[in-house]
Amino acid sequence: MGIADIVEQALEMAEPSEEEKRLVSEASRRALSLSEELFRGTPGFRSVSLEGSAAKDTWIRGRAEIDVFIHFSPDTPRALLEESIVSAGSRVISGLGGESRLRYAEHPYVEGVVGGLIINVVGCYDAERGKWLSPVDRTPHHTRYVNAKLSAEQRGEVRLLKSFMAGVGVYGAEIQVEGFSGYLAELLIISHGGFLTLLEAARGWRPPIYIDIERQLERRAAAVLFPNSPLIVIDPIDAHRNVASAVSATRLSEFILASQMFLREPSLRFFHGYQRPSVGEVRAEGRELLLVAFRVEGYVPPDVLWGEIKRSARGIRRGLEGWGFRVYRHAAYEEDGYVAMIYELESLVLPETTLHIGPPVWLSNAYSFVKKHAESSDTVAGPWVRGERLYALKRRETREAAVALEAGIAAGRLSISRELLEPIRRGRIISGWSGVLEEMSRSEGARSFLRSFLSGRPPFLP
Amino acid sequence: MGIADIVEQALEMAEPSEEEKRLVSEASRRALSLSEELFRGTPGFRSVSLEGSAAKDTWIRGRAEIDVFIHFSPDTPRALLEESIVSAGSRVISGLGGESRLRYAEHPYVEGVVGGLIINVVGCYDAERGKWLSPVDRTPHHTRYVNAKLSAEQRGEVRLLKSFMAGVGVYGAEIQVEGFSGYLAELLIISHGGFLTLLEAARGWRPPIYIDIERQLERRAAAVLFPNSPLIVIDPIDAHRNVASAVSATRLSEFILASQMFLREPSLRFFHGYQRPSVGEVRAEGRELLLVAFRVEGYVPPDVLWGEIKRSARGIRRGLEGWGFRVYRHAAYEEDGYVAMIYELESLVLPETTLHIGPPVWLSNAYSFVKKHAESSDTVAGPWVRGERLYALKRRETREAAVALEAGIAAGRLSISRELLEPIRRGRIISGWSGVLEEMSRSEGARSFLRSFLSGRPPFLP
């Protein structure tokens, strides 16, 4: 199959059916009118609007969400707005026949599932550009901008791109993924015209990449504003915001690599919804695996929890590396408050000896290095001189990764996020592939995570 | 004991007895007059002279050598001079009642042992300064210079210094040692006045060190002439020669460290002839040792052989390091053509897997890295992306140092000196401490070498 056929088929896979479109449009209408009704009379209330991919006709098949925005006047106190959203928002969801859940990251909103569709009720201010009062105030502006810029055909291109991003594992701006948001995908189609023209550009990207559709900022000014971003996409409705700030270097690089691979060997396996043959050949035997498993009690917003998990997992990695272990890779898994951090090491047990590198002989502390190591009982050989420098061969105190980690956690010597310290202390350290295999057979999600960790390949590689 | 007492005792140990002095002086006289007699009439012959430490009264007890120099006129062909030395020189030794041996490095000479004393018969040209015709023509100038500069008392200081250098293991300019020559020791006493004043200076040395007694050269000019020398001592009779060119950074650093240690904790154990208690606590059990043992046939001048041994031992070390082994230290031993190179590793067996670090995704070879590793059967995990770069975890082909080394030697993939390649190929590789222990129990010399290697300490450390 040529690339045109692949893209055509992928577009068909991503395009919602007429039935799905009808359902979304109907559910949106009902959600908006019920919201209008239930919020009317609330202090500060002004209007309701549909936002997100449903409002832009850019969602991919089966992944519609209906984002109902409740607009308040800018003088409404924040606490009042939030209270109204929690109380009236819940009534909207139950009025539609769903069960509501309070969600928040920086800003609370109410979520519910009605007839298989996720409905979010979000409160925003009718803020002027640049006078944002809450983090979601830009959203209605984004919707207007995208709707004004995208042709009907380009909405299909957005679906293609989102499907591609989901298929190659880079879709989602949440901290767990550190990838591309839906709005970012839309802007990339606007800036590059279409799916294939974007991929043709992306195959040659060398980060940092700078995209400024409305030419609002000098490239050099942007580099100063966003110094550590591998991808900078200036928000057309706010020049001081990088729409791609969530995108990590790894995710961007995976997108670049996936673009290269797809253009060379186009295949449907790059797209969301493609049924991959199960990864059968992944082997755990003989792999040097270490697992830290623990439980987090109570609801923690996913972005908060994942921020803590990622920070702590990196802290543990640095600790292991500091003790001399070579860590090849690590990843984390979360399921209903159960967290597993997995590490693949060069070896779970370090050699018996370790080389201490001392000062050059002409430094004043050379003498004390010699005295210390000549007299201590854990010196295996030396101290000796090579070139200008002193060395000593020492017997290692702790050779096993699990033992070192246990002690490091107990002593609080690791850079673990404060909120996870106690859960991790109460948790377990599992050393060796067979124990890890057993632990991760606890659920289909855990098994699948372990399989993908062991294979170590992004999903778009065969 | 205070430092003055220690130095006084060390001086007594280093000073030859009156009996030894008498024997040396008598043997010198006999060697000179017999040489005069046997060389008379030889074409180009001019005169004989006594050189070396016997001529300067600076040898340390029990280590006298009598260097008889036969002077030729500068127009004597080199081949003729060498022939005369070989034939008439041998007759000098046999005439004195000894058995002669032909020795050479750059320049042939005849060596013999007569009444327990080593006698060397060396041929030189009566060359003017700067018009040297052979590498030993400077020697008579050195003798004159030293005799003119050293007071009677300072000759004792030279003996002290030579004894200290021998005791701490840095005495000898031969390639095996890479240390200080006798002439260099004499110049250091001349430049610094005495033994303790030299050590007081040396304790504060930070290489490179520059010493120019006769102020013949700008320091900057010397740095250009001798760019890699940690110690530069300009020859008073030849400004373009560094007397310390044989001194390695390691030997100089050991001398600096030994000076610091001796001044802080003066002891007779720093001097030649001190009976060290045997190093009883050295343990081989559990050490990761590798030995390459082979035999060199026929006489090879020690400096030539040791040059090849050191070069090849380093080549093998670099080979091991290139395959991923961590080499802590290595050393070599030679005894009558039997050579052993010993290596202490972090581990004789490498982990099962190794990380291959690929290109960043934006380099054109990223695609081929992905294809190659995605398809090869020795890929354990990956390829994956981290940051901008690609990685793959691979199964190691060869895990054992001995196996890797055997294959590397057979394939000629190591930087081994050409002359040792065949001997090493015919030799043996011994892996593991018990095999090494057994192999090195072949002689007292080998046992003592192994003990000192295992302890890994320079001899002046307790």
> Tokens at residue B210, please?
């520059």
* pLDDT for residue A12 is more than 80: yes
* pLDDT above 90: percentage of residues in chain B: 87
Whole-number percent of chain B with pLDDT over 70:
98
| CA-based nearest distance A312→chain B, Å | 18
Name the residue type at position B238: D
Residue B294, phi then psi, degrees to nearest 5: -160, 175
Q: Which two tokens stand for residue A303?
A: 């972005």
The residues facing A289 across adjacent strands are A344
pLDDT-based confidence at residue A286 (cuts at 50, 70, 90) = confident
In tens, the pLDDT along A22-80 reads 999 999 999 999 999 999 999 999 999 999 999 999 999 999 999 999 999 999 999 99
Backbone angles phi, psi at B299, to 5 degrees: -80, 130
With a cut of 70, say whether residue B267 has pLDDT above it.
yes
Is B279 a residue whose pLDDT tops 60?
no
To test the contact with chain B by mutation, choose from A177, A345, A361, A450 the residue with the greatest count of B C-beta atoms within 10 A, namely A361
Residues A380 and A338: beta-carbon distance below 8 Å: no
Task: Find the mean pLDDT for residues B323-344.
Answer: 96
Residues B385/B359, Cβ–Cβ less than 8 Å: no
Reported confidence tier of residue B43, pLDDT bands at 50, 70, 90: very high
CB contact under 8 A, B261 and A367: yes
pLDDT in tens, A177-200: 999 999 999 999 999 999 999 999
State the DSSP H helix or E strand holding residue B25, giving kind and residue range, or none if neither.
Answer: helix B18-39
Q: What are phi and psi of B50, to 5 degrees?
A: -95, 130
Residue A324: band (very low, low, confident or very high) from pLDDT cuts 50, 70, 90: very high
Instruction: Please provide the DSSP assignment of B175-233 as one string.
Output: TTT--B-HHHHHHHHHHHSSHHHHHHHHTT--SSEEE-TT--S-HHHHHHHSTT-SEEE
The first and second tokens of residue A22, run together, are 């009808």
Q: Give the H or E element holding residue B295.
A: strand B289-295
Question: Which residue's entry shows tokens 């041996």?
Answer: B101
Phi-psi label, residue B47: left if phi above 0, alpha if psi -120 to 50, beta otherwise: beta
Following CA atoms B316, B318, B323, B324 in sequence, which dihedral angle do they give, to the nearest 10 degrees? 120
* β-bridge mates for residue A291, sequence order: A342, A430
Q: What is the pLDDT of residue A105?
A: 63
Residue A222: Cβ-neighbour burial (10 angstroms; 0-12, 13-18, 19+): buried
Comparing CA positions, the residue from B235, B253, B236 lying closest to residue B244 is: B235
Asked whether residue A305 carries a pLDDT value surpassing 70, the answer given is yes
Q: Is B104 exposed, middle or buried (0-12, 13-18, 19+ CB in 10 A)?
A: middle
Which residues in chain B are closer than 8 Å to A361, comparing Cβ atoms?
253-254, 256-257, 260
Cα A179 from Cα A21, distance rounded (Å): 27
Inter-chain residue contact B380 with A287, CB threshold 8 Å: yes
Asked if the Cβ–Cβ distance from A347 to B346 is below 8 Å, we say no
Residue A280 pLDDT exceeds 70: no
B101 pLDDT more than 90: no
- Are the beta carbons of B269 and B442 closer than 8 angstroms? no
Report the pLDDT value the prediction gives residue B1, as an integer from 0 to 100: 78
**Residue B281 — very low, low, confident or very high, per pLDDT cuts 50/70/90?**
low
- C-alpha A4/C-alpha B236 separation (Å) is 85
Distance (Å, rounded) from C-alpha B353 to C-alpha B368? 21
Average pLDDT of span B270-294:
85
Instruction: State how far Cα B422 lies from the chain centre.
Output: 24
Type of residue at A255: F
**Residue A106: pLDDT above 80?**
no
Are A362 and B264 inside 8 Å of each other by CB?
A: no
What is the least distance, in Å, from the CA of B1 to any CA of chain A? 20
**pLDDT category of residue A462 using cuts at 50, 70 and 90:** confident
Q: What is the rounded average pLDDT for all residues in chain B?
A: 94
3-class SS at B426? helix
Q: Which residues of A touch B329 (CB under 8 A)?
A: 381, 384, 386, 391, 393
A159-179 tens-digit pLDDT: 999 999 999 999 999 999 999
Asked if B278 and B235 touch (Cβ cutoff 8 Å), the reply is no
Interface A-B: count of C-beta contacts within 8 A: 153
A288 CB neighbours in chain B (<8 A) are 351, 353
Summarize the confidence of residues B289-304 as an average pLDDT. Answer: 93
pLDDT in tens, B205-249: 999 999 999 999 998 998 899 999 999 999 999 999 999 999 999
The helix/strand/coil state of B294 is strand
How does the average pLDDT of chain A come out, rounded? 94
The continuous run of DSSP H or E covering B67 comes out as strand B65-72
For residue A101, what pLDDT band results from cuts at 50, 70 and 90? confident
C-alpha closest to that of A351 among A290, A289, A406, A401:
A401
Check B457 against A383: CB less than 8 A apart: yes
- Closest chain A CA to residue B252: A388
Q: How far apart are CA A117 and CA A147, in angstroms?
A: 22
Asked whether the CA dihedral A145, A150, A151, A156 is positive or negative, the reply is negative
**What 3 state SS string does chain A have?**
CCHHHHHHHHHHHHCCCHHHHHHHHHHHHHHHHHHHHHHCCCCCEEEEEEEHHHHHCCCCCCCCEEEEEEEECCCCCHHHHHHHHHHHHHHHHHHCCCEEEEEECCCEEEEEEECCEEEEEEEEECCCCCCCCCCCCCHHHHHHHHHHHCCHHHHHHHHHHHHHHHHHCCECCCCCCCCECHHHHHHHHHHHCCHHHHHHHHCCCCCCEEECCCCCCCHHHHHHHCCCCCEEEEECCEEEEECCCCCCHHHHHHHHHHHHHHHHCCCHHHCCCCCCCCCCCCCCCCCCEEEEEEECCCCCCHHHHHHHHHHHHHHHHHHHHHCCCCEEEEEEEEECCEEEEEEEECCCECCCEEEEEEEECCCCCHHHHHHHHHHCCCEEEEEEEECCEEEEEEECCCCEHHHHHHHHHHCCCCCCCHHHHHHHHHCEEEECHHHHHHHCCCCHHHHHHHHHHHHCCCCCCC
Beta bridge partners of A391: A357, A384
Q: Do B456 and A382 touch (CB under 8 A)?
A: yes
CA A133 to chain centre: 26
**Among candidates A254, A366, A382 on the partner chain, residue whose Cβ is nearest the Cβ of B257:** A366
Confidence of residue A420 (pLDDT cuts 50, 70, 90): very high
How many residues make up chain B in this entry? 462
Residue A1 has pLDDT above 90, yes or no: no
Nearest Cα of chain A lies from the Cα of B362 at a distance, in angstroms, of 5
For the segment B15-22, the average pLDDT, to the nearest whole number, is 95
Structure tokens at B331: 């050393």
Cβ-based contacts of B259 with chain A (< 8 Å): none
Residue A129 predicted with pLDDT over 60: yes
Predicted local distance difference test score (pLDDT) of residue B278? 63
Using the predicted structure, report yes or no on whether residue A281 has a pLDDT greater than 70: no
| A362 HSE (CA, 13 A, CB side) | 15
Closest CB from B261, B384, B455 relative to A457: B384
Vertex B202 angle, CA B197 and B203, to 5°: 100
Check whether B444 has a pLDDT greater than 70.
yes
